[in-house]
């Protein structure tokens, strides 16, 4: 599939069929923590990838970490309170692209005045403005590696991850924890999830192009951010009638896609651990 990015122009258009991933670290600046590129050189062909071209889920993995093979499932299972897990996510899939998400574009710490940053010297389909907190000042004037320009405040990333996980819970008809006024009926929860999903789907669109060698018409989806792609992948799963469940092994409890009927555990490891735990409690109670 043809990446929608110009050769030699190391930056993505606002609407692209690909996303990018570099090497990231946590950086402290003026009391704020940012997820920032390390600045090390990168191969543009390896940095760009297409989130929608990943193979579909066909069977339960051996280990729970097997669900990290898909960005939307990785984000849905992420411990947003763990900086280490967040770093593992961004180093695998890249930043969420919150500077291109309408509800996050003007993010700033509480009480701070909004100071916009305009992307200069980059060919985009239209001028884009976003909060200065998404622009890495170290690489502000860099023309060599423009992908290094972007960073994300850790707090904004956590908000976006928790919002996505809240959406997944509602879409599954489950009651969100810590929400006093959450809908009581599963169908009402799914209706609320519908509103969240449609807000992100509005920013995605199908595209088509013609190639001469080989001669063919191809099609794909464009999205402005990895976060949009995660919602788009969820939409594919929901409309494809894939069943989302929550692992019944309590130390795990992560969501997963059931690949066969009556499966209660996300992985072979969780199934075996739950089995050993049940055996232990039976022995403790003198049942065996």
- Please state the domain extents for the chain: 19-153+199-241, 243-288
Ranges under pLDDT 50 in the chain = 1-11, 13-14, 122-126, 288
Report the pLDDT value the prediction gives residue 125, as an integer from 0 to 100.
Answer: 41
Report the pLDDT value the prediction gives residue 120, as an integer from 0 to 100.
Answer: 58
Report the pLDDT value the prediction gives residue 5, as an integer from 0 to 100.
Answer: 43
Report the pLDDT value the prediction gives residue 113, as an integer from 0 to 100.
Answer: 86
Give the N- to C-terminal CA distance of the chain in Å, as an integer.
Answer: 59
Q: What pTM value is reported for the model?
A: 0.88
Report the pLDDT value the prediction gives residue 110, as an integer from 0 to 100.
Answer: 84
pLDDT of 80-126, one tens digit each? 999 999 999 999 999 999 999 999 999 998 888 888 886 655 444 44
**Cβ contact 103:78 at 8 Å:** no
């Amino acid at each position: 599939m043809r990446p929608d990015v110009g050769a030699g122009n190391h930056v993505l258009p606002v609407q692209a069929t690909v996303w990018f991933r570099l090497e990231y670290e946590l950086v402290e600046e003026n009391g704020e923590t940012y997820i920032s590129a390390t600045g090390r050189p990168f191969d543009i062909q390896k940095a760009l990838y297409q989130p929608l071209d990943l193979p579909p889920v066909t069977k339960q993995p051996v280990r729970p970490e097997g669900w990290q093979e898909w960005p939307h499932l990785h984000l849905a299972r992420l411990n947003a309170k763990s900086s280490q897990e967040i770093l593992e996510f961004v180093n695998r899939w890249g930043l969420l692209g919150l500077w291109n998400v309408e509800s996050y574009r003007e993010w700033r710490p509480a009480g701070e005045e909004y100071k916009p940053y305009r992307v200069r010297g980059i060919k985009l389909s239209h001028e884009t403005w976003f909060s200065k907190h998404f622009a890495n000042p170290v690489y502000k004037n860099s023309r060599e590696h423009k992908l290094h320009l972007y960073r994300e405040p850790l707090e904004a990333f956590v908000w976006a991850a928790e919002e996505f996980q809240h959406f997944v819970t509602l879409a599954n008809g489950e009651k969100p924890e810590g929400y006093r006024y959450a809908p009581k009926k599963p169908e009402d929860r799914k209706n609320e999830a519908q509103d969240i999903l449609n807000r992100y789907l509005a920013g995605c669109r199908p595209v088509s192009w013609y190639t001469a060698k080989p001669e063919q018409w191809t099609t794909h989806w464009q999205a402005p951010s990895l976060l949009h792609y995660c919602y788009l992948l969820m939409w594919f799963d929901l409309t494809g009638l894939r069943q989302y469940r929550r692992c019944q092994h309590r130390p795990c409890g992560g969501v997963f896609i059931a690949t066969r009927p009556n499966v209660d555990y996300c992985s072979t490891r969780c199934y075996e651990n739950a089995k050993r735990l049940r055996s232990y409690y039976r022995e403790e109670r003198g049942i065996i």
